[in-house]
Amino acid sequence: MARVVVSLRIMPQGTDIDISGLEAKAKNEIVDFCGSEEFKAEVQPIAFGLKALNLIFVMDESKGSTEELEKNIAQIEGVESVEVIDVRRAIG
């Protein structure tokens, strides 16, 4: 099976949420879900001080859907929403 690169956008509930703490908890969920420890994290300004956390990671295509992972991350305290913004097959 191939490997895929997945991009998730995590929106916090407000401007007072600690993005770095949110990032650490989300990364733990990703490791539990797919075993991947290959991450890239970006903080994207949205508006009025609100920032989104974009996490990019690699997982095996055989895992199938990321729906379970999205539900687990959405249950983290301080998370408003989780959205898959991109999925691509890795080459190589």
Domain ranges for the chain, please list them: 3-89
Residue 91's pLDDT is 77
- Write out pLDDT tens, residues 20-51: 999 999 999 999 998 888 889 999 999 999 99
Q: Which residues of 19-53 are buried (b: 16+ CB within 10 A; e: fewer)?
A: beebbebbbebbeebbebeeeebeeeeeeeeebbb
If we measure between CA atoms, which residue out of 63, 72, 74 comes closest to residue 36?
Answer: 63
Task: Supply the mean pLDDT for the chain.
Answer: 93
Cα–Cα distance between 20 and 38 in angstroms, integer?
17
Residue 64's pLDDT is 85
Tell me: domain 3-89, CATH 3.30.70.60, correct? yes
